[in-house]
Chain A
Amino acid sequence: MRTSNYLVALALLLGAGAVSANEGGHAGWQRPANNEISNLPSLQRGARNFMGYCSGCHSLKFVRYSRLAEDLKISDSLRDTYIVKPGDKFSDYIKASMPAADAQEWFGKPPPDLSLVARSRGSDWIFNFLTTFYADASSRQTGVNNLQLPGTAMPHVLASVQGVQQAVWKAVEHKGEDGKAVVTPEFEKFEPGVVGGLNAEQYDEFARDIVNFLQYASDPTQVERQGMGIWVVLFLLMFTGIAYMLKKEYWKDVR
C-alpha cells in the first residue's frame, strides 16, 4: 500500500525530471535569449526594430497596431510615426509590405508570418537565428548562411546593424557508422568580418529586443495572466485552508 504510493511518486518525479531535461539538445554555440517579457522599453524598441527591418517581408497578421500600442504603452503620435505603415489604419492588422507572390519568386517560399514564432520555435531559437548569420559566399546565393537554420533562404537583413561575421571551423575526427575514421567540420567560433553599426554587445541587445517583442506578439496577455494568477492561487489556497478546517471539525466525529 504505502510502498506502491512511493513507487508512483518516484516514477512521476523521474518523469518530471526527464521532461524538463527534454528541452532539446543545446549545441555549444547556442545561447539563451534571456529576454525579459516585462521590460517595456525593450518591447517598445523591439516593436520599432521589427517594423523597421522585418515587416517588409514578414507579417504579424494577428497583431493590430492599436492593440500593440495599447499593450506597449506607445503614444498615438509615436505609434503613427514609427509603427503604423503608411496607408494603414491604426486598427489594421500588420501585413508584410512584400506581396506574397513576389516573395515566392525571389526566395522560393513566402517569408512566414511571425505572430506565433516565439511559441512554435521558442525565444532562444529566434535569438540564435538573429545572431548566427555568417559570411558564406561560396555556397549561398544570399552570401550568408546561418548556424541555427542552415541553408536559410533569408538574407542577412540586419547586416547593416550587426555586420557580417566570419565562421571559423575546425576539423574534427570521429568514428563513422562503418567504424572508419571520418573528418567533419565543426563550428568553433565567430570572428569579426564586415563591421556593422553596432558592436557585438549592442547587437545582442538589439536582437534581444526583437525577440522580446516577438515573444509578446505570440502571447500578448502573458504578463497580465501571470499577474492575475498570483491572486487566483492565493485565493484558492485561502479557500482550501478554510475548507480544510471545516473538514477537520466534522471529521472529529469519525473514530
Chain B
Amino acid sequence: MSDHAADDTVPEVDESRRKFLIAATAGTGAVGAVLTAVPFVASWMPSESARAAGLPTEVDLSKMEPGQMTTHFWRKQQIYVVKRTPEMLASLPSHDDELKDPESKDSDQPAYAKNETRAIKPDVLVLIGTCTHLGCLPKPRFTPGDAAVMANWPGGFFCPCHGSKFDLAGRVFQGSPASVNLKVPPYSFEGDNKLIIGVDSAAKGVA
C-alpha cells in the first residue's frame, strides 16, 4: 500500500541538521578522495628498479691522466670527473671578479665541496655535467687562452646551447645565461684511487 494519500502536514525541515550532515558527508568524502589519490600519485615515485639502478657508481682514478676528463652515469645523469693539473688549479683564484658566484654561495654542492677548488681532493673535480641554465651538456674547453670561447679564457666548460661558460671548478662566468655554478654530486673516496659517486663523504650512507 502506498503512503502518499491524504497526509497534508509537512514536517518542518531541520535546516541546520541538513547543513551539518551535508558538511559531514562532503568532508568525509573529500578526505576519502585525497586518501584514494595517494597510491596513484605515489606510484610515480622511483620504483625499486630505479633505486637499484641509482646505486653508487665507482670510478677507478688510477687510469686517468692529469688534465683528462671522463664521463660516467649516476642516477641517469652525466657526471664529469676531471684530473686537474697544478696549472689548472693555479688558474682558479685569478678571475673571481668575472664570476657570478665565486664562493659558491648560491649553488648546489655538498659541504665538503664548498671551498675554492669545489672538491675534497683538489686534483679530482667531480661535477654533474648538466648546464644549470636549461640542461644541455657543457663541453670541456680546457685549453687556456682559447679566444674562440672568450677573451682571457682560463680553461673550463662551454655550453653550446646558449653560450654559458664555467671555469675549471664549474663556477659560472658573468654574461652567461646560467645563473648558478655547476652542481657537485655527493661523492667520497675509498683509498687513493677509488671514487664513489653517490656516497657522501661525511656520512657513509647513500645519498
Give yes or no for direct A-B contact (beta carbon below 8 Å).
Answer: yes
Task: Verify if B148 is at the interface (C-beta below 8 Å from A).
Answer: no
Mark contacts of B23-38 with chain A using CB atoms, 8 A cut-off: 1 yes-contact digit, 0 otherwise. Answer: 0110011001001000
> Chain B residues with Cβ under 8 A from A242's Cβ?
21, 24-25, 28
Q: Are B7 and A255 in contact (CB under 8 A)?
A: yes
CB of A245, distance to nearest CB on chain B (Å): 6
Known contacts A249-B18, A253-B13, A255-B4: A243-B25 contact under CB 8 Å: yes
Task: Verify if A45 is at the interface (C-beta below 8 Å from B).
Answer: no
Please report the C-alpha to C-alpha distance between residue A238 and residue B24 in the assembled complex, in whole angstroms.
11
Task: Verify if A165 is at the interface (C-beta below 8 Å from B).
Answer: no
Complex interface residues of chain A between 204 and 248 (CB less than 8 A to chain B) = 235-236, 238-239, 242-243, 245-246
Instruction: Report the nearest B residue to A70, measured CB to CB.
Output: B48
> Chain A residues with Cβ under 8 A from B42's Cβ?
none
Q: Are B48 and A67 in contact (CB under 8 A)?
A: yes
Please report the C-alpha to C-alpha distance between residue A66 and residue B13 in the assembled complex, in whole angstroms.
62
> Chain A residues with Cβ under 8 A from B55's Cβ?
91
Please report the C-alpha to C-alpha distance between residue A245 and residue B23 in the assembled complex, in whole angstroms.
12
CB of A92, distance to nearest CB on chain B (Å): 8
For chain A, the count of residues having a C-beta within 8 Å of the partner chain is 17
Q: Are B11 and A246 in contact (CB under 8 A)?
A: no
Q: Are B32 and A239 in contact (CB under 8 A)?
A: yes
CB of A154, distance to nearest CB on chain B (Å): 31
Task: Verify if B136 is at the interface (C-beta below 8 Å from A).
Answer: no
Task: Verify if A106 is at the interface (C-beta below 8 Å from B).
Answer: no
Q: Are A246 and B22 in contact (CB under 8 A)?
A: yes
Task: Verify if B3 is at the interface (C-beta below 8 Å from A).
Answer: yes
Please report the C-alpha to C-alpha distance between residue A255 and residue B21 in the assembled complex, in whole angstroms.
21
> Chain B residues with Cβ under 8 A from A66's Cβ?
52
Instruction: Report the nearest B residue to A232, measured CB to CB.
Output: B35
Please report the C-alpha to C-alpha distance between residue A105 and residue B139 in the assembled complex, in whole angstroms.
54
Please report the C-alpha to C-alpha distance between residue A67 and residue B52 in the assembled complex, in whole angstroms.
10
Q: Are B21 and A64 in contact (CB under 8 A)?
A: no
> Chain B residues with Cβ under 8 A from A6's Cβ?
none
> Chain B residues with Cβ under 8 A from A64's Cβ?
48, 52
> Chain B residues with Cβ under 8 A from A246's Cβ?
18, 21-22, 24-25
The residue from B17, B25, B32, B48 contacting A235, defined by CB atoms under 8 A apart = B32
Instruction: Report the nearest A residue to B53, measured CB to CB.
Output: A91
Q: Are A245 and B21 in contact (CB under 8 A)?
A: yes
Task: Verify if B14 is at the interface (C-beta below 8 Å from A).
Answer: yes
Interface residues, chain B, with chain A CB atoms under 8 Å away: 3-4, 7, 10-11, 13-14, 17-18, 21-22, 24-25, 28-29, 32, 35, 48, 52, 55
Interface residues, chain A, with chain B CB atoms under 8 Å away: 64, 66-67, 91, 235-236, 238-239, 242-243, 245-246, 249-250, 252-253, 255
8 contacts between A and B (CB under 8 A): A239-B25, A242-B24, A246-B18, A246-B22, A249-B17, A252-B11, A253-B10, A255-B3
